[in-house]
Structure formats: structure tokens, C-alpha cells
Chain A
Amino acid sequence: MARYLLGRLLGLAAVLLVTSFLVFSAVHLAPGDPVSFLLKGHPATPEARAAITAQYHLDQPFLVQYLKWLGNVLNGDFGRSVQFRQDVGPLIGSRLPGTALLIGYAAVLVCVGGVLTGVLAALRPGLVDRVVLIGTGVATATPPFVTAIGLVSLFAVQLGWFPGPGSTGTGLGGRLHQLTLPAVALAVTLAGLLARVTRSAMLDELAREHVEVARSRGVPERVVIRRHVLRGALGPIVTVGGTTLAGLLVSTSIVETAFNVTGVGQLLVQSVTAKDFPVVQAVTLLTVLGFVLVNLAVDLLAPLIDPRVSLTRAGAA
């Protein structure tokens, strides 16, 4: 187990290293010289050029630049934002809680909504199942920004139940109310996917012999569904659930932009448009880190769910 963990952490570090290298060199791949590129759209005064050159050590050999940058990053110093003229670290930090709340809210909706819908469809074949299949079919084909539009037009503009884009709420209740439409928009596509996976995993389990055996011993149906069917379906549900949650990290940029939510995702989009490269680099790295960590967590959970799985290289690859 320890060996496996070490191996995975090394793999994680390798991915982050390669990503950081690519993220760093991207600046040099851009057309024009790096200094002009980094200053694009902002006054190219000699002081600004000197500041950028110093910040990125552009007068040094490439590899040295990369290593210095990497050193800074590992210390939490991501440089200064060109558009906001602040340190990138605190800039992201101030927006992180908002995004975290949104993603958390959406994650709960995906897990609860998706799994419950899938279970319902599996246990009620016929009309209910048909409706769920069609519903999830449409949901998986509806990207988050389309859902956002639909929600805004119906619930914000027509019905006025929820605030439209760009509003702020006070207190936890207010924030949650404000974040409901964005969270639903984030959740719908992935909830549809999770519902389908849950449904087919449950249907597979329902056909298994040990379910019938439990019934034959007088175990009540509710308990059979819970301890045998659902429990057996957990494996695929958790695996896909993990991937979808990881996907939330990226889709949040789209939803935050659509709803004008002050968060890390919106910051990323603004920074790309404004060519604020230090911010883009930092957010990209952090997102990849989050992505890889979620996948690792899912893999580590696997033996807990299925005791037959052992954490060998072959098993987890």
C-alpha cells in the first residue's frame, strides 16, 4: 500500500512537473518576444519592461528561468497580475471560497440528484425508466452554458424566483440562494451522466445471484436493495462520480462567466482575454493539481469499495 501510494505521488509530481514546464514555456512559444507578449495590451514603459524581465528572469538561460519560476511557485509566489497589479496568490485566494462553495453545491446536486435518479430508474422499469432515459439523454447533451441560459430565462426573468446574473447575496442563506441557478447549471450535464451510470450499474447488480439468495433467506426487499444492489453498484458510481467531479473544476469557468459570479473560473477567463499570463499560469496549475488529486482519491477509495481490488500497478493503471 505504501509502495503504491509512493508510486502514485511520484506520478502526480511528474504530471505537475510536465504541466508546469508546458505552462511556463507557453509564454515563449507565443509570437513575438516574451516581454512584449507579457505586456500585451498594457503600457510598455521601460519600467514595466524592466519589471517583467526581472520577474521572469528573462535575461537568463531558459532552463534557469524555468527553475527559478518553479522555485517561486513552490513557495507560493506566482508573480504579479498584470491587469490587477496585485500578487497573484492573494488574488486567487480571495476568490477561492466563492468557487469552492459553488463547486461544492454543484457536487452535492450531482451526487444526490444523479444517483437518486439512476436508482429510481433501475427500480421502476416501464414509464419511469423511459422518462429518466429521455431526460438524462437530453441532460448529457446540454452543456452547462445552455442550461444556464434556460435557467436564467425561466427562473430569473420569467418567474423571478432566483436572482439573475451579477447579483450578490449576504450571509450563507443568501449566498446559497444566489448560487442555486449556477450550481444547477453546473450540475445538470454531469448529473445526467451519473444517473445513467447508476442505472446501468444497478440493473447489472439486480440480475446477480447473490441478490436472489438474500431474498431467499427472508431479507426484506428494502434491505436487499440497500445492502446488495446499491452496494454492488457503488464501484462504477464512485469511479464515474470522481471523473465528473473533476470535470466540475473546469466547467466552473463557463458557469461563473455566464452568471457573473466572482470566482477563480471567471478570473481565468478574464485573464485570458486580458492576456494576464501570470494569472493564467497559476490557475491552470492549480486546476491540474485539483484534477489529479481527485482522481487519486477515487483510485484510493477503490479497495474500500471492492475488497477484491488490490492496489498494484496493473490494477490501478
Chain B
Amino acid sequence: MAPPLLEIDRLTVRLPAGRAARPILDGVSLSVAPGETVGLVGESGSGKSVACRSILGLLPQGARTEGEVRVRGADVLTRDRAALRRLRSRQVAMVFQDPRAAVNPLHRIGDFLTEGLRAAGTPAERATARATELLEAVGIQDPRAALRRHPHEFSGGMLQRVVIAAALAGEPELLIADEPTTALDVTTQAEVIAVLTRLQAERGTGLLFVTHDLELAAAVCDRIHVMYAGRIVETRATDDLFAHPRHPYTAGLLACTPRIDPHAPPPRPVPGRPLSLAEAPPGCAFAPRCAFAEPRCSAEPPELRPHGDGLAACLRADEGILP
């Protein structure tokens, strides 16, 4: 049996900030199988961006890590430069949040699309032909002309489609989408998500979908990991997550999302603001904001344990505190 596509195994990342190292991630584990869409949901400071960049070996300078990030069984964090380049051009690709920042404004779209391929050794003509195919696949009209235009001539949504096309250029087995629609208008969001999911289904790639929007994740993902302050606090299949969340933070996220249903209760915000791991107190990082916290919650960070058909990191998960 082939090794699983992606396995992040208890990844801990510390940044050397000044003299004291600042922790970013603590024991993060998740996996993605081919063809599967896995969601990683968290607010600002949760560390989700660092987690997904680690899959490409793109950690900040001088970061110290523990644990492994395995793509097809081989740890990314210990690969040499040549092996990393092969990983980035052929195995894993990322769709970035802001297309205007991600695409070099001084180059033509064609250059952007073929860059990764040419770096991997594909001759220019083949690369251009492939770029044209990809632009068609994402729904850009007149691909040949588009290749010669510059990014500022495209709208945000169109440019994000170009970014998706570029991500697929190397025929990766795993796609990582880091907040791919956050910088776009709502109507454009739907189009871009549709393109992304269609292409993923057609090619059978695994997709790690990173977002702060739980509802959006629910629309796209089979399984969702919820992150808070550098740790995974809950892992569950989407339907189960919405029906029976086991972690108070997940429940809080669900409760504070406004809904259109007239019979739904009004949104209830979670008091306080999301923390990063560096600011987290000892014990459970969510405890200060949690309605169900007890003294023992501040003693030690709870481990991610099986509860129901998924995992939850809460000492009171099986006490039925959540409806």
C-alpha cells in the first residue's frame, strides 16, 4: 500500500525571536489522503499559515522544529535543497491568499504560469502549451492572449484562477489552499471555489483547505481540523462537527456565525480575542474564554483524544457539556 499522501506528525515549531524563542505550533498532527478534502480552520494567531507552509518546507529563517511532515512517507523538514525543489515543483503546490501580492506585477501571466515548469526542466514551448491548457481549464477566455497580459489587467477573481492554474501546472498530488478566497468579493468567492473543487475532483488531488470561515470549510471539506493557539483542538467529519461539536471553542465558532434562518438563535460572540501560542497561558489555551473551564483546565494542556467519531482536546469532552 502506498504511504499516505500527507502526514503531519506532532509538528512543533519555535521561532527565534530576539533572545527568547517564540512557540508557534505545538504537536500539530493531521493527514490528507489522495482525493480527500481536509479543512484546517482557525482564526488569526492560530498558526494555520505556518502549518501549511511547513508542508512545502517554507519555514521562517532559523525556525526550530520537532516532529515530522511526511509527504508520501518522506520527511520534508530534513530534505536537502534539490529534493525540496523537486517536492515543490512536482508533488505539492499552494494557492495563496492574495493574488495581487502573489503574482509578480512586473512579469506577464505567461511567465508566471511557466516559471515552475521551466525551473524543473520543461522546455519553454511545452510549458507554454501546458499553460494555455491550464488557463482553459480554469475558465479564462482567450488563453493565448491572456498569456501575454500583465496581472494588473485582470480582476481579482480572474487572477486567483490564474494562481490556481499555476498551482496545477506541475500536476501535484497535494494542493494546499491558504485562504484562497479571503481577498475576493463574495460572489467571486463562489466561482473560485467551484473551479478549485472541480479541478480537484477531475485530477484526484488531495486538498488541504485552510480558512477562518467554518461555513466555507463545511461547504468544501470532508473532514475538518479546528486550530486554536497553535494546537489542533478538534478533528471531526464535517457533518458530525456541525451536529455534535465536542470542544467548547468549536461550539463557540459555530454559535457566533450569523445565519439567515429566521428561527436560528442570534449569534453569540465568544468573549475575549483569539490568542497565539506565544501568548497562551499554561494549560488549555482556551480556558480563559471558556464558559465550562475548571481549575484543572489550567494545569496541563489537554491531549487530543478520541471522542465520538473524531478527536477533541478537552478534559470535559465526554461530559456532555455541549448540546
Partner of B166, one of A215, A217, A223: A217
Q: With the chains together, A210 CA to B112 CA distance in Å?
A: 10
- How many pairs, one residue from A and one from B, have CB atoms within 8 Å of each other in the complex? 70
Across the interface, name the chain B residue whose C-beta is closest to A221: B81
B256 interface residue per 8 A CB criterion: no
Question: Scoring B residues 169 to 203 as 1 if CB is less than 8 Å from chain A, else 0, what string do you get?
Answer: 01000000000000000000000000000000000
Total interface residues on A, using CB and 8 Å?
21
Q: Are B102 and A218 in contact (CB under 8 A)?
A: no
Q: Are A218 and B87 in contact (CB under 8 A)?
A: yes
Partner of A209, one of B86, B102, B107: B102
Q: Are A216 and B88 in contact (CB under 8 A)?
A: yes
Q: Are A308 and B150 in contact (CB under 8 A)?
A: yes
B139 interface residue per 8 A CB criterion: no
Known: A212-B58, A307-B150, A308-B152. A219 touches B116 (CB 8 A): yes
Q: How far is the CB of B97 from chain A (nearest CB, A)?
A: 9
* Chain A residue contacts of B85, Cβ below 8 A: 218-220
B119 interface residue per 8 A CB criterion: yes
Q: Which parts of B140-181 form the interface with A (CB within 8 Å)?
A: 150, 152, 166, 170
Q: With the chains together, A220 CA to B86 CA distance in Å?
A: 10
Q: Are B96 and A213 in contact (CB under 8 A)?
A: yes
* Chain A residue contacts of B152, Cβ below 8 A: 307-308
Across the interface, name the chain A residue whose C-beta is closest to B120: A218
Across the interface, name the chain B residue whose C-beta is closest to A217: B116
* Chain B residue contacts of A305, Cβ below 8 A: 106
* Chain A residue contacts of B115, Cβ below 8 A: 214, 217, 219, 227
Q: With the chains together, A208 CA to B86 CA distance in Å?
A: 23
Q: What secondary structure prevails in chain A residues at the interface with B? A: helix
Q: Are B119 and A210 in contact (CB under 8 A)?
A: no
* Chain B residue contacts of A217, Cβ below 8 A: 88-89, 93, 115-116, 119, 166, 170
Chain B: number of interface residues, binned into ranges: 20 to 34
Q: Are B102 and A210 in contact (CB under 8 A)?
A: yes
* Chain A residue contacts of B88, Cβ below 8 A: 215-218
Question: Scoring A residues 163 to 206 as 1 if CB is less than 8 Å from chain B, else 0, what string do you get?
Answer: 00000000000000000000000000000000000000000000
Q: With the chains together, A260 CA to B107 CA distance in Å?
A: 48
Q: How far is the CB of B159 from chain A (nearest CB, A)?
A: 12
- Residue among B86, B89, B115, B116 with the most chain A CB within 10 A? B115
Across the interface, name the chain A residue whose C-beta is closest to B98: A209
* Chain B residue contacts of A228, Cβ below 8 A: 104
Known: A209-B96, A308-B150. A218 touches B89 (CB 8 A): yes
Selected A-B contacts with CB under 8 Å, 6 pairs: A216-B93, A217-B170, A218-B88, A219-B115, A231-B106, A232-B104
Chain B residues in the interface with A (C-beta under 8 A): 53, 56, 58, 84-90, 93-94, 96, 98, 101-107, 115-116, 119-120, 150, 152, 166, 170
Chain A residues in the interface with B (C-beta under 8 A): 208-210, 212-220, 223, 227-228, 231-232, 305-308
Known A216-B53, A231-B104, A307-B106; 13 more pairs at CB < 8 Å: A209-B98, A209-B102, A210-B101, A213-B94, A216-B56, A216-B94, A218-B116, A219-B85, A219-B115, A220-B119, A227-B107, A305-B106, A308-B105
